[in-house]
Structure 1
Amino acid sequence: MHRTGIGFDTHRLVEGRALTLGGVRIPHATGLLGHSDADVLTHAIMDALLGAVADGDIGQHFPDTDPRWKDADSLVLLRQVVARLASLGWRVGNVDATILAEAPRLAPHNARMRARLADALGLPVGAVSVKATTVEGLGAIGRREGISAMAVATVATDAEKR
């Protein structure tokens, strides 16, 4: 049996924070504000995985009210999500994600993001797609106030019914 989940995340860009996407530090004048490292790409992937197995969302598993998750590395959290899925009898098949950002240019970092995510997911790099696009100057993202990401993940189990 296969299932598909969709994830989405947005964080505000602020001065004084590092910009981390897909577990990769991206040189930029501003970074994403959040309780953890605010890695919107990894957060969207985690929500897609959790959604695929109907197991809540990252806010339920890693609440921002819990000091354990303050400044947490999102790839560590992603590994925990993958382990949780495995404990429930699911394995990750593939992930397809898109980052929406006006700046910085992300193409030079794509291969490293895919490699870091694939490692955390336990997948070959060919099963992890990361794309980036602008929003043509529209809205908060277009004004460079934030970055969003969306992801689709497919999971599989050998069990007949779940």
Structure 2
Amino acid sequence: MLPAVSNIKRNTIAALLAVAVALPAAPALAWGQREQDVLKGAAGVILLQGIIRETKPNKHHQPRYEPRYEPRYEQPRYQHYQPRYEPRYEPQRVSVYSTAAARAFNSYSSSERRLIQRRLSAYGYYNGGIDGSFGPGTYNAVVAYASAQGQSRQLASTSTAYGVYDGLMY
């Protein structure tokens, strides 16, 4: 892309005017060949910079297409939602520590509780440590033993659970 002729003329005139203004200010004897060469070099640099600026494409003045966002109305989409209310009947969970079997077990002395756990272990129902404390392992062993003996209904109340434990001790 060649620069426009008017721009080159304008830059040339501006450079020559700058040289003409600077010449009378310098003393006549101080202008040797070196000074003249420096002035020619400076004028040449200014002229070349103007030419380079004119030949470079200017990004600011080029029109660019930018798509504009224009909001538009869309009809809302409604989904007919009908929740299904299905009642869930879950049995209440009871902690093994609050059962009748636990209350009856904890009423025995420490040595009697360990004896019950040893007997359950000897029969193959209990695999835990013989510590005399009631927990899930002891509860599961007692329930399994009572079911095997046909006494699972006796664990429903504290007074009948004593019969299961007494059967293990005596």
TM-score, reference length from structure 2: 0.23
Q: Which has the higher contact order (CA 8 A, sep 6+)?
A: 1
Structure that is richer in helix per residue: 2
Structure that is richer in strand per residue: 1
TM-score, reference length from structure 1: 0.23
